[in-house]
Amino acid sequence: MAHDEQRQQVVWACNELVRLGLVAGTAGNVTVRIPGTELVAASPSSVRYDLLTAADVCVVDLGAGDVVEGFRNPTSELLMHAAVHRARGESVGAVVHAHSVAVTALSVVGRGVPPIVDEQVAILGGEIPLCPHELPGSAALAERVVEHLGDLRAIILAHHGMLGVGRDVHQAVAVCHLAERLAEVMLKVLPLGEPRLLPEEAQRLERAYYEMSSRPPRPLFSA
């Protein structure tokens, strides 16, 4: 089976999202970029994660949106995934969309997560912005997500859930897990008042670390 490694990564990510409690049923979706190509391995639509196999995973052309390998329909959120992959290029190896409870609750009250803890800026790049609501699966949602995500790694989708990206699928899942924990913190803090933000100097230094860690690795030896 072609691109088996990326298909297996999609299966792993879907099962890990279930294990972490970030999705239920068939909610959420995953895409993994196939290096050096304009193709992604994409989770299929309406397949239970406990029954998902690599053969169920589709391979999709980012430009045309066509399934080039596989027998199932890709995720209904393919437009959103493809837009992020196209906008961020090879710097993003995987995109994960989840409907976790705390993030979704925060999205319903119309809040993102400002920079409140150190690892948030160092790992996610700063705040987790709130993307205004658009219909799931729509081109309008895809456009809004790209606009509000910018060069960050996580975004909250109003009345919907979240989207996380990473240089690989393991980082993308870890980003979603961190976003959910930060949403839990926000939900505990808000009844007590507005959260205090990280000091500006800490934000500046941690943002510099984020930018440095986001660069592609340099070759050990140059010609």
Q: Establish whether 77 is a catalytic residue.
A: yes
Q: How many whole angstroms separate alpha carbon 86 and alpha carbon 89?
A: 5
Q: Among residues 16, 38, 77, 90, which one is catalytic?
A: 77
* Residue 75 structure tokens: 């995720």
- Look up residue 48 and give its amino acid: R
Distances in Å between the alpha carbon of 200 and those of 118, 122, 129, 179, 208?
11, 13, 18, 21, 12
Contact 195, 139 (CB under 8 A): no
Q: In what order do the strands lie in the sheet with 94-98?
A: 67-69, 58-61, 39-42, 29-33, 94-98, 161-166, 154-157, 130-131
Contacts of residue 172, defined as CB under 8 A and 6 or more positions apart, other chains included, come to: 13, 30, 93, 94, 95, 96, 164, 165, 166
Q: How many whole angstroms separate alpha carbon 91 and alpha carbon 19?
A: 27
Residues annotated as part of the active site: 77
